[in-house]
C-alpha cells in the first residue's frame, strides 16, 4: 500500500499539498512542545529543561515503531522509504558544527522557523544565519568537497551494521530512551531554574 506517492496511488501533484499539510502538523507539534523558545531548547544542555530530549526521542520511537508495524502489516514498503545516506566523516563533522551552532544559537533550523512564526526576532536572525551558512558552504564548496564526499557507506541501517533485526534495534532504542527520560526528569528536579 504505502508509501502512497512513490507508488503512485496518490498522484505526484498532490505531494506538495501533502507536504504543506504535514508541515502544519510538524510546526504545530514543535510549537506546542515549546520548541519555539530557545530557552527551553538550550535547557537540555544545562539540565533544567529536558523537553528536547523527551520530545525528540518520543517522536523518533513513535515513528520507528510505526514504520515497523506498518511494514509488518504490509501497509508500507520500507524499500520505498528514503533512508539517509551515511558519509561517516561529513556526518560527524557536520554534527559537531551543528552542535556548536545549537548551543550558541539556541535553535535548530526547524524550531527557528516555528519560533519565527510566533514573532521571535532572535529566531529570524538565526534563520538569516542559516541562509548565510548555506551560502558559505555552497560558495566555498571546492574547499570541502573532498571531506563532504569522504567515508561514503551507502545507505546502511544501524540494525544492519549491528547485525540485529529492525525490531530488536527499536527495542534497544526504546530502552535507551526510557533510561534517558528517567535521567532527564531527575536532572530537571536537580537543576531547576526559574523561567523568564
Partner 1 sequence: MKTKYMNPYLAGLMLGLVLLMAFFFSGRGLGASGAFKNLLVASEHIVAAEHVETNGYFGKYVADGKNPLNSWLSFEILGVLVGGFISGALSGRLKIKVEHFPKITANKRLTMALIGGVLFGFGSQLGRGCTSGSALTGMAVLSLGGFITMAAIFGTAFGLAYTFRKNWI
Partner 2 sequence: MNARILTLAVTLLLGVVIAMVPENTTKRYKLTASDMITEVRDGSEIISPEDLAHWIITKDPSIQIIDVRSPDEFATYHLTNAFNIPIADILNDDYVDILDQGVKMNVFYSNGTMYSHQAWMVLRQLGYENNYVLQGGLNYWFESILSPKAPSIYSSDEEIAKYDFKKGASEYFGGGGAEIQATAPATNTNKPVIKRKKAKKAPAGGC
Binders of partner 2 in range 58-117 (CB under 8 A): 61, 65, 68-69, 71-74, 77, 80-85
Q: Establish if 152 lies at the interface with partner 2 (CB under 8 A).
A: no
DSSP 105: H
* Distance, CA of 43 to CA of 52 (rounded, Å): 8
Q: Establish if 113 lies at the interface with partner 1 (CB under 8 A).
A: yes
User: All 3 cell numbers of residue 61?
Assistant: 520511537
Select 47 or 166, whichever has its Cβ closest to partner 2. Answer: 166
Q: Mention every residue, 6+ apart, whose C-beta is less than 8 A from residue 32.
A: none
Pick the binder of partner 1 from 11, 72, 120, 179 (CB under 8 A). 120
Q: Is the dihedral of CA 169, 175, 179, 184 positive or negative?
A: positive
Q: Establish if 178 lies at the interface with partner 1 (CB under 8 A).
A: no
* Distance, CA of 110 to CA of 114 (rounded, Å): 7
Q: Binding partner of residue 168 among partner 1, partner 2, none, CB under 5 to 8 Å per kind?
A: partner 2
User: All 3 cell numbers of residue 68?
Assistant: 515497523
Interface contacts to partner 2, rule CB under 8 A: 3, 6, 8, 61, 65, 68-69, 71-74, 77, 80-85, 165-168, 170-171, 174-175, 178, 181
Amino acid at each position: 500500500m504505502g508509501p502512497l506517492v512513490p507508488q503512485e496511488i496518490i498522484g505526484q501533484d498532490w505531494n506538495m499539498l501533502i507536504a504543506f499539510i504535514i508541515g502544519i502538523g510538524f510546526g504545530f507539534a514543535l510549537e506546542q512542545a515549546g520548541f519555539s523558545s530557545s530557552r527551553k531548547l538550550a535547557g537540555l544542555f544545562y539540565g533544567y529543561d529536558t523537553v528536547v530530549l523527551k520530545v525528540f526521542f518520543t517522536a523518533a520511537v513513535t515513528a520507528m515503531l510505526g514504520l515497523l508495524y506498518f511494514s509488518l502489516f504490509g501497509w508500507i514498503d520500507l524499500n520505498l522509504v528514503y533512508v539517509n545516506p551515511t558519509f561517516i566523516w561529513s556526518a560527524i563533522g557536520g554534527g559537531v558544527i551543528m552542535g556548536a551552532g545549537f548551543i550558541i544559537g539556541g535553535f535548530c533550523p526547524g524550531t527557528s522557523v516555528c519560533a519565527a512564526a510566533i514573532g521571535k526576532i532572535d529566531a529570524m536572525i538565526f534563520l538569516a544565519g542559516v541562509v548565510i551558512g548555506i551560502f558559505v558552504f555552497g560558495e566555498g564548496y571546492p574547499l570541502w568537497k573532498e571531506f563532504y564526499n569522504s567515508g561514503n557507506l551507502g545507505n546502511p541501517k544501524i540494525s544492519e551494521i549491528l547485525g540485529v533485526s529492525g525490531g530488536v534495534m527499536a527495542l534497544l532504542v526504546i530502552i535507551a530512551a526510557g533510561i534517558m527520560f528517567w535521567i532527564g526528569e531527575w536532572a530537571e528536579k536537580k537543576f531547576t531554574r526559574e523561567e523568564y
